[in-house]
């Protein structure tokens, strides 16, 4: 399944931040650079993420790259054969099995690039992301700009009253806001 005698060491990179911070944009950039370097790449996303495309990973800025939607993290192990780089978008939507999947891929010599929300709309660490960040060799936190005051934003403020943790959406459902504005809104 994996390259037995891979000459390169594998590792895990995590790109995290709020909605509209450029996580997916950065994942696509890194994956396209790997393709340009003639590396074999495979990109995965959770099958529930059909906001912009069922088959592609698409950023809010409409940049896209072909991907394979998967029902569970374990499917990634079955589908990631003979590759140099694996990209995983929206990792917060996977169960904790994604952590071991990423470790196995990296241990087999594969570069793993994971993108996802580090916190949910309530400001709580989101799903497997904290453990992925702790496991990763490289963590990049990207920031949006607060739509209320212009400071760096790292919260995803939900514009609807829905209280489910997972609610797919874009500009009509979420706004990036800073810590101060997040705390002000929570007081109301």
Asked whether residue 137 is assigned to any structural domain, the reply reads yes
The number of folded domains in the chain is 1
pLDDT of residue 65: 65
Q: What DSSP assignment string belongs to the chain? A: ---TT-SSPPEEEEEEESTTSSHHHHHHHHHHHHHHTT--EEEEEETT--SS-SSEEE-TT--EEE-EEESSHHHHHHH--S-SEEEE--GGGS-THHHHHHHHHHHTT-EEEEEEESB-TTS-B-TTHHHHHHH-SEEEEE-EE-TTTSSEE-EEEE-S----S----STTTEEEE-HHHHHHHHH-
**Which has the minimum average pLDDT: 58-67, 81-90, 131-140?**
58-67
Is the pLDDT confidence value at 50 over 70?
A: no
In the block, which residue shows the tokens 């212009």? 150
Asked whether residue 25 is assigned to any structural domain, the reply reads yes
Asked whether residue 2 is assigned to any structural domain, the reply reads no
Asked whether residue 160 is assigned to any structural domain, the reply reads no
pLDDT of residue 158: 82
Measured CA distances, 120 to 108, 123, 140, 157, 176 (Å): 31, 5, 18, 9, 12
User: Residue 38 sits in which domain range?
Assistant: 11-143
Mean pLDDT of the region 20-41: 94
- Return d(Cα 16, Cα 18) in angstroms, integer: 7
> Domain of 98: which CATH number?
3.40.50.300
Out of 4, 54, 90, 184, which one is annotated catalytic? Answer: 90
pLDDT of residue 61: 61
Q: What percent of the chain stands above pLDDT 70?
A: 79
Asked whether residue 149 is assigned to any structural domain, the reply reads no
Annotation says 100 is catalytic:
no
Asked whether residue 115 is assigned to any structural domain, the reply reads yes
Is the pLDDT confidence value at 5 over 50?
A: no
Is the pLDDT confidence value at 62 over 60?
A: no
pLDDT in tens, 112-168: 999 999 999 989 999 999 999 999 999 999 999 999 999 999 998 887 666 665 555
Mean pLDDT of the region 85-108: 96
Asked whether residue 169 is assigned to any structural domain, the reply reads no
Asked whether residue 151 is assigned to any structural domain, the reply reads no
Mean of the per-residue pLDDT values for the chain? 86
**Closest C-alpha to 133, from 17, 29, 8:** 17
pLDDT of residue 2: 43
pTM of this structure: 0.85
């Amino acid at each position: 399944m994996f390259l037995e005698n891979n000459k390169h060491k594998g590792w895990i990179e995590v790109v995290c931040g709020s909605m509209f911070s450029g996580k997916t944009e950065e994942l696509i950039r890194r994956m396209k650079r790997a393709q340009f370097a003639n590396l074999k790449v495979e990109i995965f996303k959770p099958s529930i993420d059909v906001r912009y495309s069922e088959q592609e990973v698409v950023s809010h800025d409409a940049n896209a790259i072909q991907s394979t939607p998967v029902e569970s993290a374990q499917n990634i192990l079955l589908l990631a054969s003979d590759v140099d780089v694996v990209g995983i978008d929206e990792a917060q939507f996977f169960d904790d099995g994604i952590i071991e999947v990423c470790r196995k891929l990296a241990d087999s010599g594969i570069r793993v690039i994971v993108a996802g929300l580090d916190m949910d709309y309530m400001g709580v660490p989101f799903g497997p992301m904290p453990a992925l960040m702790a496991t990763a060799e490289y963590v990049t936190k990207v920031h949006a700009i607060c739509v209320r005051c212009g400071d760096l934003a790292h919260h995803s403020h939900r514009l609807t009253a829905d209280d489910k943790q997972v609610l797919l959406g874009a500009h009509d459902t979420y706004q990036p806001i800073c810590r101060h504005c997040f705390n002000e809104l929570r007081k109301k």
